[in-house]
Amino acid sequence: MKRVLFVACALVLLAGAIPGEAQNGVSLLASPSGMGPLVTLGTGDCAGGEIYDDGTAENGYSGNASIISSFEGVSQFTPASYPWVYDTVCVALVSLGGPNLDFEIEVRDDDGLGGEPGTLLGAVPVSAAGIPGGLPCAWYSYDISSLGLSVASGSVWIGVRWNPMAFPSRFICSDESAATPLHPGYVNFNNPSLWQTTQTVFPSYKAKLIRTLGGPAEADLSIQKTGLVGPPGTVVYTITVTNNGPADATNVVVTDTLPGELNYVSDDCGGTNTPPWTWNVGALANAASATCNITMSVGTGGAVVNTASVTGDQPDPTPGNDSSTATLVVAGVSVLEIPTLNQVGLLGLGLLLAASAALLLRRRRA
């Protein structure tokens, strides 16, 4: 295949520079001296987040506007812990075709062949204005929390997608510094099932200027405890735990130091009264609830105050609803104790009863 090479001191388009790629990819050729720090537009550059670039851009990548109607460029992101939620994506853009771009921020699973981009987990339509006409690039920040995605294991691929025919000569900026470690990345041109490693199309690639912010997935657990005076001498407490999300909750545990005025009898959820009474709920999906009933017998009477609390593995954004208190007024139950008699005592009791019966018969005859 014929190779076309442009050599110039100014910024030019390098189209069809990669043999065997049918001129799908185009890049922005920067000055070999480097372009320095990027310009921060939008709302930030995701500083402190998951970052793989060195903060400068030597090039930019896109699709050939004459034949490509869908260009995708994604980078691999691996959470620090699980489950994890990415809520912000920052991308650096540059243009030689105009200051505006309508595109999508996309998130894909790593369930493709060999861990490459696979199932589309979600996409957010966004836009950028004021894109600089040449390097240095500019940062743009986007909120993707509306996707409600929680990464439970492995990695995800996060990046951009746009139509080069509608927006020609717009580029996702790229780090090509020799000192930057090569970071996994893929590009796609028009074919959802044909992903290529970025360095296959752009050999100098090291890392796209795509960054993320996120944190451990949050699960708002709430608990409600009520009490009911049941049959004489018993009290039944009902505990309901709800996961208000947005993430699924794991290792959900309810604890309750049962009041001394009452005596634990049983429960219907497999709890253990060690004390404190403990209920291992386990996993609780978003919007799911679980209920347990505890039966207790009444010891001493009066006002009985009892509080139950819930915890889980995920951060809880509203800790104020993690405990619940039930107050009951119960009447004490007194038990008449009858001493146990030995054989002599039983014989004496029998003689006494016989004598009493004989005395009653005599009185009736008289």
Q: Tens of pLDDT along 23-40?
A: 899 998 744 344 445 555
Query: 336 pLDDT exceeds 50?
Result: no
pTM: 0.69
Q: Measure the CA angle with vertex 334, ends 333 and 335; round to 5°.
A: 120
Instruction: Write down the CATH number for the domain with range 219-330.
Output: 2.60.40.1530
What integer pLDDT is reported at residue 149 of this predicted model? Answer: 85
Q: What is the pLDDT of residues 113-147, one digit of tens each?
A: 999 999 999 999 999 999 999 988 999 999 999 99
Greater confidence, 210 or 13?
A: 210
Residues of the chain within CATH 2.60.40.1530 domain(s) are 219-330
**Side-chain-side CA neighbours of residue 33 (13 Å):** 3
Query: 15 pLDDT exceeds 70?
Result: no
Q: What is the pLDDT of residues 265-294, one digit of tens each?
A: 999 999 999 999 999 999 999 999 999 999
Q: Which residues of 7-119 form beta strands (DSSP E)?
A: 12-15, 25-29, 39-40, 59-63, 71-77, 84-95, 101-109
Distance CA 202, CA 157 (A): 18
Q: Which residues of 149-164 are buried (b: 16+ CB within 10 A; e: fewer)?
A: bbbeeeebbbbbbbbb
Greater confidence, 304 or 31?
A: 304
Most confident of 165-174, 258-267, 344-353: 165-174
Query: 347 pLDDT exceeds 70?
Result: no
What integer pLDDT is reported at residue 23 of this predicted model? Answer: 82
Closest CA to 46 of 183, 208, 181, 198: 208
How far, CA to CA in Å, does 208 sit from each of 19, 234, 253? 21, 67, 43
Report residue 190 as tokens.
């028009």
Strand partners, 302: 330
Lowest-pLDDT range of 106-110, 153-157, 170-174, 242-246 = 242-246
Environment class of residue 185 by beta-carbon count within 10 Å: exposed (0-12), middle (13-18) or buried (19+)? buried
| Amino acid symbol at 47 | A
Q: Are strands 262-267 and 249-256 parallel, antiparallel or unpaired?
A: unpaired
Q: What is the pLDDT of residues 83-100, one digit of tens each?
A: 899 999 999 999 999 999
Lowest-pLDDT range of 102-116, 120-134, 320-334 = 320-334
